[in-house]
């Protein structure tokens, strides 16, 4: 299956899908790099810089359904981590003509700098239809054609490890400890207040390690991969929820569910975009949300746990929220930090902080 034909001396790139389909396009980004990864798509019309630097996209090949990418370049202070996390980028058209006063570099130059390959000039609508029909699949991006057998690549889970870091103003403040499974920068920024310190720790931390930090609340962050890959951390969550307020986001939502006896499953093609409507079952409100996940909590499995489902995705009725009745513990599948995306769910950070105030912290 071929994309747009190329002319002249343009360098070709080959996107080979696990099911044997091949798209031929123009090489951009890092021209020499060849990669393998999980092929996904996002419906975001803007926010490509946030998407590419989101740790939840680690080891994934991102297809942008919006036809023109790169028109406002790359700016300082927008990235959600210190590098591009995606393995590769697939676009219909990538432009070097940048129109934004904050831009410091073009997207193509940024990808070259980060050694991330990309392919342009293919029919991304057709590619997305294939993913929707067959589900998320493995793929390779190469400089030469490969056969279908070579396209059958082993998937490796990617558990993110990060160094502990603290954000503080030096005062006696309340203290949020973020468990970093692949946290986005804007989640940390959304927690920061003059009266709140934030410390980020790795999932290798023990319950004792976290308790010694004297947290007022715990945030379970987003991250890549299958939530069952993090089963070693579930006993830590079980202990933490006995003593501290907890807020889970995306992967953190799934891990909270697993820690309480629910199960998760791999979705056909996941939710990736900033236009997912979610209904709050407590208030009846509808929020427009930003999402990026390929796994979901099995709603039926929640019935046998102490948790309660609090929100549903309007289109497919997947689980979008949980709470632990009687305890200051809740989670959401979507991203309230709005990077990129709508700001409807931003008040959830205030809700979490208010829960910490009410409970007074446990030291």
To the question of domain 12-142 being in CATH 3.50.30.20, the answer is yes
User: Is residue 336 a contact partner of residue 349, using CB atoms and an 8 Å limit?
Assistant: yes
Domain parsing of the chain, residue ranges: 12-142, 165-359
Q: Binding site for L-glutamine: residue ranges?
A: 56, 223, 225, 251, 254, 292, 294-295
Parallel, antiparallel, or unpaired: how do β-strands 88-90 and 117-120 relate?
parallel
- The mean per-residue pLDDT over the stretch 296-324 comes to 97
Is 337 tagged catalytic?
Answer: yes
pLDDT in tens, 207-229: 999 999 999 999 999 998 899 99
Q: Binding site: residue ranges?
A: 56, 223, 225, 251, 254, 292, 294-295
Q: How far is the C-alpha of 308 from the C-alpha of 319, rounded, in Å?
A: 10
Q: Indicate whether this model's pTM tops 0.85.
A: no
User: How many other C-beta atoms can be found within 10 angstroms of the C-beta atom of residue 68?
Assistant: 12
Question: Which tokens is 59 given?
Answer: 């080891």
User: Is residue 97 a contact partner of residue 69, using CB atoms and an 8 Å limit?
Assistant: no
Instruction: Give how far the C-alpha of residue 87 lies from the chain's centroid of Cα atoms, to the nearest Å.
Output: 14
pLDDT of residue 149: 52
DSSP string, 273-322: EEEEEEEETTT--EEEEEEEEEEEE-HHHHTTSS-EEEEEETTT--EEEE
pLDDT of residue 153: 43
- The mean per-residue pLDDT over the stretch 148-163 comes to 43
Choose the most confident range, by mean pLDDT, from 7-21, 30-44, 303-317.
303-317
Question: Which tokens is 31 given?
Answer: 């021209």
Angle at 185 between CA 168 and CA 263, to 5 degrees: 110
- The residue annotated as part of the active site, out of 36, 38, 313, 337, is 337
- The mean per-residue pLDDT over the stretch 128-152 comes to 81
The residue assigned the tokens 């199960």 is: 263
Q: Which helix (H) or strand (E) holds 38?
A: strand 35-42
In the chain the first and final C-alpha atoms are separated, in Å, by 60
CB-count burial class (<10 Å; 0-12, 13-18, 19+) for 19:
middle
pLDDT of residue 150: 54
Confidence of residue 358 (pLDDT cuts 50, 70, 90): confident
- The residue annotated as part of the active site, out of 18, 26, 250, 276, is 250
Q: Which residue has the higher pLDDT, 2 or 144?
A: 144
Q: Which residue has the higher pLDDT, 170 or 358?
A: 358
Q: How far is the C-alpha of 34 from the C-alpha of 31, rounded, in Å?
A: 8
pLDDT in tens, 180-209: 999 988 899 899 888 899 999 999 999 999
- The residue annotated as part of the active site, out of 175, 271, 276, 335, is 335
Q: How far is the C-alpha of 187 from the C-alpha of 169, rounded, in Å?
A: 18
- The mean per-residue pLDDT over the stretch 153-181 comes to 59
pLDDT in tens, 15-72: 999 888 999 999 999 999 999 999 999 988 899 999 999 988 888 999 999 999 999 9
Q: Provide the total of helices (H) and of strands (E) in the chain, helices listed first.
A: 9, 21
Is the pLDDT at 361 greater than 50? The verdict is: no
The residue assigned the tokens 């954000």 is: 167
User: Is residue 137 a contact partner of residue 39, using CB atoms and an 8 Å limit?
Assistant: yes
Is 28 tagged catalytic?
Answer: no
CATH of domain 165-359: 3.40.50.880
Instruction: Give how far the C-alpha of residue 178 lies from the chain's centroid of Cα atoms, to the nearest Å.
Output: 16
Residue 78, CA distances (Å) to 17, 159, 186, 257, 327 in order: 31, 24, 9, 31, 35
């Amino acid at each position: 299956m071929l994309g747009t034909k190329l002319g002249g001396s343009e360098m070709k790139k080959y996107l080979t899908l696990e099911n044997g389909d091949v798209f031929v396009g123009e090489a951009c980004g890092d021209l020499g790099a060849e990669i393998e990864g999980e092929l996904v798509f996002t419906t975001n019309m803007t926010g490509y810089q946030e998407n590419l630097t989101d740790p939840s996209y680690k080891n994934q090949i991102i297809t942008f359904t919006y036809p023109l990418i790169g028109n406002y370049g790359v700016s300082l202070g927008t990235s959600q981590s210190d590098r591009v996390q995606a393995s590769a980028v697939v676009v219909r058209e990538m432009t070097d003509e940048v129109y934004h006063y904050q831009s410091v570099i073009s997207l193509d130059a940024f990808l070259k700098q980060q050694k991330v390959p990309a392919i342009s000039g293919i029919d991304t609508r057709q590619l997305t239809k294939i993913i929707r029909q067959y589900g998320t699949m493995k793929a390779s991006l190469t400089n030469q054609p490969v056969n279908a057998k070579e396209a059958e690549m082993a998937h490796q889970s990617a558990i993110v490890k990060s160094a502990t870091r603290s954000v503080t103003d030096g005062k006696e403040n309340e203290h949020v400890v973020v468990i970093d499974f692949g946290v986005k920068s804007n989640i940390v920024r959304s927690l920061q207040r003059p009266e709140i310190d934030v410390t980020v720790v790795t999932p290798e931390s023990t319950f004792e390690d976290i308790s010694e930090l004297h947290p007022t609340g715990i945030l379970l962050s987003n991250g890549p991969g299958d939530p069952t890959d993090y089963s070693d951390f579930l006993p830590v969550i079980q202990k933490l929820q006995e003593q501290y307020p907890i807020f889970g986001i995306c992967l953190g939502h799934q891990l909270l569910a697993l820690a309480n006896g629910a199960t998760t499953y791999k979705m056909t093609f996941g939710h990736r975009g900033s236009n997912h409507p979610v209904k709050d079952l407590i208030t009846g409100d509808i929020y427009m949300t930003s999402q990026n996940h390929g796994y979901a909590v099995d709603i039926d499995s929640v019935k046998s746990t102490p948790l309660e489902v609090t929100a549903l995705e309007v289109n497919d009725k997947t689980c979008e929220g949980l709470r632990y009745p009687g305890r200051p513990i809740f989670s959401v599948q979507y991203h309230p930090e709005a990077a990129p995306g709508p700001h409807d769910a931003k008040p959830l950070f205030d809700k979490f902080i208010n829960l910490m105030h009410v409970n007074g912290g446990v030291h």
